[in-house]
Structure 1
Amino acid sequence: MVLSQYDLDKIPRDMTLKDCYERIYQWHKKYGKQKIKDKNADTEYKNAYLKFLNKIPDPNNASPENMNLVFDEVITMLLEWSYHEIDDYGIKIGAYAHRALEIQYGNYNGINNQNFIKSMHNSSLYQEFGDT
């Protein structure tokens, strides 16, 4: 998926990794259950999303590994349907995931970075949800 530079530039430059995660977390907890019902996706995918949503840790308890798994899911898997959804701040959910990659790896498209991949594989949620 691709975002415009305009979408990426909307994110305040002083946002931290935790801030990016928190915005994704809050949007999904507030809107996810209702919005997924309206998506054209099969029941198995919707159920997997809801199960994942119930297990992701709140921002105060999320490890960097769990945050990275969530960022990956926004870009490629269970949370991908929300990629172009706009939050209460006027920012696309996918932009937060990409900003988090930039913060950690110096590149918006760091999803193929080996350190990122190792980190998300070390998430406590990866065994159950990784590569779904």
Structure 2
Amino acid sequence: MDVLGLFGWNQGGNVAHLGGALLGYFYAVKLKEGKDIGTGFERIMDTVASWFKPKSNLKTVHRSKQKTAYAGKTKDEFNTFNDQKKVDLILDKISKSGYESLTAEEKEFLFKAGKK
């Protein structure tokens, strides 16, 4: 009907309908391919809409996403400290009940710690 209406009284409206149909088809084809061509427009509209939203009275607190300190130490220092504690516990076990009382994991950990 819009194609036939191109020769009638409301030519601009019919061209707009045909353009919308063509854009809708192109959008659907690209969406099927995995590309969303509307993300830029959505971002612009979200920005414009945010201008008219009331501001919150709450204070925003930003936190770093990655922890760099554990108990006042860096991650490497903390891991070294924990490894030393494990070694100390294994050595205490050896002094009380002998090397043969260690599990395979404890023997492997002690061997790896000796290589460092």
Q: TM-score, normalised by structure 2?
A: 0.27
Larger-gyration structure (1/2): 2
Q: TM-score, normalised by structure 1?
A: 0.24
